[in-house]
Each structure stands twice: as structure tokens, then as C-alpha cells.
Amino acid sequence: MHVVQLLPELNQGGVETIVLALNRELVLHGHRSTVISAGGTLVPQIESDGGQHIALDVCSKNPLTFIPRCLKLKTELLKLDADIIHTHSRVPAWLAFFARKRLDIPLVTTVHGFNSVGKYSAIMTKGDRVICVSHPVKAFIEKHYPVQPDSISVIHCGIDPSAFDPARIDRRELDQLKHDHALEGKRVVTSVGRITELKDYETFIRAIAIAAKTRPDIKALVVGHVREDKQSLFLQLQQLVGELGMAGHIDFIQDCPHMPELYAASSVVVSCSKKPESFGLTLVEALAMNIPVIATRHGGPLDIIVDGVNGSFFEPGDANALAELIVRDHPAGTDLRTDAIARFSLEKMVDSTESVYSDLVEPIPLEPSLFIAEGSHRAIYHHPEQADKCLKIVKAGSLEKRRQRNKKWYKRLRKLSSFDETRKDLQAYRQFRKQNTDLSHIPRFYGMVKTSLGPAMLLDLVTNEDGTPARTLASHLESTDKARIAAALADLASYLLESAIVVRDFSIYDVMVREGRDGRLKLFIIDGLGGKELIPLSSIRYFARLKAERRVRRFYSKILAHHPDLSLELK
């Protein structure tokens, strides 16, 4: 398998750390790995770990150069013969989304943060699979974008257990750290992260000042790089330390190459972020070193901390509450490492990501025993592993047969793909997602997947409430109480008109009937979704409702022609 990852640049950062880890582990697992970025200090690391790096501007937001860069990326993807494209940021995702058109390469996106809500950020939800780095990020995406729940995976960022191991720390470096910052015999409270307003170091400093009144042995370490544009903030924080009389209690460390030793010297590690952070890798690193943690009660830490077990929460900006937690001793000898490694190891992250790749690349084997039914154009199969799902596949040779059946010669000159009903279904489902349409009478669509018989739509399998196979409306019309059928048809008609859903070809063979345990019937449209007009007026709700009404009336007329004893009336 050849995986191509895209990110803006390869410099220090959380996203870069994940890309480096995936590159290294994919190579170790026997896969090909290529990283495309605008370059950076970590390029040699990619190459020394066995990966390939291609320098391409996937960083610039300049719209004037977007198309040339998109074409260049498409050329590179063709050369690489990629099996998976994995993007980690919005600009690369936009480029990859258009570059992969007609290349049939699955796209995976990873949402690394709480990006601003809008069309620009929505591109991160357009992957065939979407990875979120925490459950709060997943909830954020589901709240603001019309995504299919089954297309989203939560894969936490992982750490290398051997890099953060209390048994492997450098004692000389630890002693040096304690000496440089007078940590011996102190209760060391550490906060890690670059100096920005979002990290809310002001609250941290004020909490230390409050805690020092009852615990004069407290020593705090603020560990984080200071960018040029944050120098004024850094000076303000230093001034606050002086005003509170904490100069002997708080040290700032801008560069710390020995993080395991830093954690080992700490009594507790604190995160004071004002706004939700996507995850909190420093908290996991601390836990792996058997150091308890404290964090604000929002964002990624909600996935990491079990309150009162491996750490504690406080409300953002509450210095008094934080001070109370800082002075509280955690039970000595508690094993925090085992749970942290079990939940947040690098191996687990890579295995979970590889599983996402494999689901998209490795074809689902379809045996004849899985066959359910077929029409002139497509066939339906049971999913071999998911009993509640089915696979809808275009039958071999059916597109050419559909083209040749046209009596008008000019229609036989159209592209073969224009006869594919699956394309029309996909357009309809895209419209449903865009409009957040109620799908209570339509099987939920989970995306396109590869099978041994070709590309397939992965859909909910319509069954009766007791789990037995559902039958078509055609079958029920011959054997079921007409009053029950009429009620179900009225319910379906009301749904179609209310939701303004247009059906191309309304057939009694394209409607499945779910029987409830109480005897009630519910109808599901399994085929023929969407309009087929040249000008897509049905994308406008007013015209869609008019067309839906005409289709329902025509459908009723067809049924009444063969079953005049049915009582059908469109209200």
C-alpha cells in the first residue's frame, strides 16, 4: 500500500509529529510512504526514516496559483501511483480534493483542531473517511457539518512508550535540571506549551501565587517557546510574576530538549487553556511518566483525564480552584502509566489509522451466497461482516446494454458513465447532506467502498423490526391488508412532500416495506433517488416539492391501475 500524506510544512508542531510517526511506522510495516509539503526542517527525518518527500507548495492560500498547484499535485499523484491520500490541513485538503478527480484514489482527512466553522473548513469533512483526534472534535464536526456518522473515526494521538518511560530517564540530565531550577525537595508544578493568550498562563501564575500561601515549597515551571510576535505577552507574564512576589517560585524555560526528565522532576502537570484544545499530548506524556495532571474542563482533555483517578478538572480562568488542586497530593505509588499507554500508544494510533486505510483499499470479498437481489442495472449483496449493511453494485456489462437500448442514435454516443444510476444516487445523497435532509424513509448511505466485484455503495439494509428480511411493496400489495398499505403509502407521500425529495423512477419494486412488531408498515425508497432533468431545478426546494408531488400522483395512479380497491388520496 502506498500512502501519500499532505501537510503545509514540515517544521516543529503537533501535526508534524503525527505525520513523522505515521511515515516511520508505515515504512516499518512494509508500506510505501510519501509526504508532500512545502518543506521544512523535518524533511531529512522523513527521508532517513525511509519515506519519500516531494516539495510542493501546498501551503499558500493564494487563489491565483490554486489551479496550477492543483494540476501539479495531480501530476505527482499519477506518478506516485498512490493508494491513499491523507491530508492533515485545509489548504492541502482543498488541493487534494480537486487533484484526485477522476483518479479514483481514496481521500482520508484528519481534523486536528476546532477550526472556524464555514465552507473553507468544511473541506476537512469531505474525505471518504474523516479522522478526529478526540471525541470533542468529532462532536464539533457532527454539530456543524452534515457528515455521515460511520465515516468518522476517532483516533487519538499516540506517544512512543519507550520515549516516555520512568525507568529510562537520564539521571544526569534530571539532576542537572533540578540543580538549574532549585527543584530539590520542592512540589514542582509544570505547564507545557508555547507562550500564547490561549494557554492562559496568567491564571496559572495567579494560582501558583495562591497555592504558595499554604504550600511555600511550590516551584512552578512554564515550559514553552516564545515567538517574536509574543514577546510583549512574555514580558507581561514576567511582570505579573514580579508583582505577585513569585520570582523565586516560577521559572520560564523556553527550550527543553529533555522532556521525559522534566516530567520526572514534576509533581503535577497543568494545562490552563482558555479555549478547547483538540487533544493534549503533553498530558498523555506526563501520565506515561506516572505524573498526575490537571486541565480545564473542555476539549481533548475530556478524553484523557478520569477525574479523581489520573488527574482533575477545573473551570477555565478559575485560579482559586486550580490552586486547591495544585496543593492536593496525589496518592503515592499510583500506576498512571499502564492506562495511558493502553489508551494512547503510538502503536494503537498507527494500527487504527492503517485499519482506516485498509477499509478503503482492500476490496470486500463478495461470494454468491451473499447475493440478495438484482435489477437490470445493479445487484445488491449482504455485507460479509456488517449484518445491518448491504452493498449495491453496478453489474458487469450493464452500462453498455443500457446505452445500446436507446432508440435515438445520438444518445448512444453519450459517455458510458452517463448511464450509471449510481452517479445519480450519489448526487442525490450529496444534496441530502447539504440540505440536512431527514432520511427516515431512505436507507442511510455510508460512502463508496471497493469490493471484489467493483465499487459499491454501502447502505443500511432494510429489515423488519424482528430482523427478518423485508419485502418489496410489490410483494405486499399481493398479500397484505390494504388498509395498512394505504396508511404506509400516505405516510411516505407526506414525507416526500415535506422533505421535497424527488424520485427519478417510482416503482413498487424500488420500495421496501419494514414490518413493525405492532403490525405497522414503514416504506423505504431504495432506488431511483434524485431528478434526471438537464437543468437541475429540483435542487431548488420550491420546484423540488412540485416535482415530488407530480411523481407521487403518478405513482398512485400506477398502483390504482392494478389495485383499484386501495384507498389512496394525496392531501
Cell digits of residue 156? 487519538
Q: What confidence tier does 465 reach under pLDDT thresholds 50, 70, 90?
A: very high
Facing residues of 86 across strands?
Answer: 5, 108
Domains 166-344 and 368-460 agree in fold: no
pLDDT at 227: 86
| Minimum mean pLDDT range among 31-35, 214-218, 275-279, 407-411 | 407-411
What's the CATH number for 166-344? 3.40.50.2000
**Grid cell 432506488 in the structure block, residue:** 527
Distance CA 236, CA 273 (A): 18
Q: Compute and round to an integer the Cα radius of gyration of the chain.
A: 29
- Whether residue 147 is predicted with pLDDT greater than 90 in this model: the reply is no
The per-residue pLDDT for range 55-100, each reduced to its tens digit, is: 999 999 999 999 999 999 999 999 998 999 999 999 999 999 999 9
Facing residues of 129 across strands?
Answer: 108
- Whether residue 455 is predicted with pLDDT greater than 90 in this model: the reply is no
2-154 folds as Rossmann fold (3.40.50)
- Whether residue 501 is predicted with pLDDT greater than 90 in this model: the reply is no
Nearest 5°: the CA angle 9, 11, 15 is 75
Helix (H, G, I), strand (E, B) or coil at 443: coil
The pTM for the full model equals 0.71
Domain residue spans of the chain: 2-154, 166-344, 368-460, 471-562
- Whether residue 529 is predicted with pLDDT greater than 90 in this model: the reply is no
From the list 420, 351, 495, the residue with the least C-alpha distance to 26 is 351
pLDDT at 535: 45
Q: What confidence tier does 103 reach under pLDDT thresholds 50, 70, 90?
A: confident
Q: What confidence tier does 537 reach under pLDDT thresholds 50, 70, 90?
A: low
What is the overall mean pLDDT for the chain? 90
Distance CA 278, CA 335 (A): 26
Q: How far is CA 334 from the centre of its chain?
A: 34
Buried b / exposed e across 80-94, counting CB within 10 Å, b at 16+?
Answer: bebbbbbbbbbbbbb
Q: Which CATH code, of 1.20.1640, 3.40.50, 3.30.1050, 3.30.200, is assigned to 368-460?
A: 3.30.200
Nearest 5°: phi and psi at 36? -110, 125
pLDDT at 569: 77
